[in-house]
Chains A and B, each alone.
Chain A
Amino acid sequence: MEKPKQFLYPGAIFVSPEPSIITTILGSCVAVCLFDPILQIGGMNHYLLPLWNGQGLASPRYGNIAIEKLISNLEALGSHKANMKAKVFGGAEIIATNINQFMIGERNIHLAKDTLIEIGIPVVSSSTGGKLGRKIIFNTETGEVRQKYVGGKK
């Protein structure tokens, strides 16, 4: 049977109890693909900035909120943190700059890896950094992620 397909927009989260195919396109944004190999379910987020600074709505455009929400959404489907595995993608530096404040890609990557380690969810594989955007396709049933580089998008 065809799996339902979902395109994930920046700032959104998708988690489903059904096996799904989730696609997204990343530049300096980072996406965490989270899955539970025992229940064979998973989900993905797509955040633009590492930390919510208290301005505007506390949406998953910010990494600290996006990762927390993704985990709790998966927990709501009966998954346990101890079984979850993560894969991290994105965080390219598309606009070259040496100023630390602006290295959004790298700060996004650090936030994902640090937060996941702190929570105790292993990052089993990742493809981060560099100068090219990425398109990723995530199969939540198997946890497989296919990646293609795309020319400097977003």
Chain B
Amino acid sequence: MSNIKITDELLIEELKLRFEEKKNSLKKLEKLTTELKDVNTKLAESEALKSHFISNITNEIVNPFTSIVILSKNILSVKEGDWNRVMKMADLIHTEAFNLDFQLKNIFAAAEIEAGELFLEVSNVTVDTLIEAVMASFINEADKKKLSFDFRKVGAEKDELFFKTDSEKLRLILSNLVENAIKFSKNNKIVISREVKDGVLSITVKDFGIGISENNQKIIFDRFKRLDTGINSINRGHGLGLSINKALLDFLNGEIDIDSKKDVGTTFIITIPELTPDAESFSADGSDYIFDSDDEIF
């Protein structure tokens, strides 16, 4: 009699355990299902955005080209001596061509990243010169929106600052941040500062523009995402810039942070660790390939 009783208790215990296990695996399954749903929604969005992207690109490549063609034709028919008109039209051509060039650089960068054709080209970069060059290339765009640049060099190394990194990638990252800052602010200034601490370069680009709400801060690094997607949006671009920045910084082992308040302004902070000579020697010299006897062969 007593034997059976114990068995009953054990049985109940075992059943409880099994129920518990079942509950747990159900929970796990639920979690996975939610994740799957999320990914599904994202894929659907991505498809929709892709078609949006193509129409966007058409607008942004075909339209500037059309203006450039018409404007240059007009210049050819200007009467001799009417320099003012020529200057005005040349200025418009420059603006269109500059934007086009910048967009194309981003598109090619995105294509390279997505094709996995990324290579490091490490050199000793003079950071200040690079930042100044980026500012100079955007000076016309900034002038048009009555924006001025304020470049602050933080830290002991006031003059020449050398930093080992990939200069072309850093240039594109900075250009995207500056372009973004110009796009979303006006009648104010853009503060750019740089600092090197413990072998880490940090650059901040701060604007006093419209800002980004907390919810939107989470999605701005997604490709093709623009917060204002209306066809009549005054802001051009197709949301590639920040997703490229994220990918390039991942490649350089760097990070990007955002600090923004709606209607107050936005600060982007990028940090990049200095590439060690070790990382350089991987790519270039052949001494790395000496075969040892303890190599395993597959």
Which residues in A have some Cβ–Cβ distance to B below 8 Å? 5, 7, 9-13, 21, 23, 25, 45, 53-61, 66, 69, 87, 89, 125-127, 137, 144-148
Contacts and interface: CB of A to CB of B under 8 A. Distances in A.
Interface string B275-298: 000000011001011011011111
19 contacts: A9-B120, A11-B116, A23-B289, A54-B46, A54-B222, A56-B243, A57-B114, A59-B113, A59-B114, A59-B247, A69-B115, A125-B298, A127-B298, A137-B291, A144-B297, A145-B298, A146-B291, A146-B298, A148-B294
A13 B117 contact: yes
A148 B296 contact: yes
Interface string B111-123: 0011111111000
Nearest to A25: B282
A107 B192 CA distance: 41
A54 B113 CA distance: 15
Interface in B100-114: 110, 113-114
Of the four ranges (under 10, 10 to 19, 20 to 34, 35 or more), the interface on chain B belongs to 35 or more
Given A5-B289, A12-B119, A69-B115, A54 B43 contact: yes
Nearest to B282: A7
B221 A56 contact: yes
Contact of B250 (A11, A60, A137, A147): A11
Interface in B243-265: 243-244, 246-247, 250-251
B30 to A, nearest CB: 15
Given A9-B120, A137-B289, A146 B295 contact: yes
A54 B250 CA distance: 16
Contacts of B298: 87, 89, 125-127, 144-147
Which A-B residue pairs are the 6 nearest by beta carbons? A54-B42, A13-B116, A60-B116, A145-B298, A146-B295, A125-B298
B39 interface: yes
Contact of A45 (B116, B221, B282, B294): B116
A132 to B, nearest CB: 12
B123 to A, nearest CB: 16
A146 B290 CA distance: 11
Contact of A9 (B38, B118, B243, B244): B118
A44 to B, nearest CB: 10
Contacts, number: 93
A21 B286 CA distance: 11
Interface in B104-156: 110, 113-120
A148 B243 contact: no
A7 B120 CA distance: 10
Contacts of B39: 53-54
B286 A55 contact: no
B223 interface: yes
Given A12-B118, A57-B246, 20 more contacts: A9-B118, A9-B119, A9-B251, A11-B250, A13-B115, A23-B288, A54-B46, A56-B222, A56-B243, A56-B246, A56-B247, A57-B223, A60-B115, A61-B250, A126-B298, A127-B296, A127-B298, A137-B289, A146-B297, A148-B296
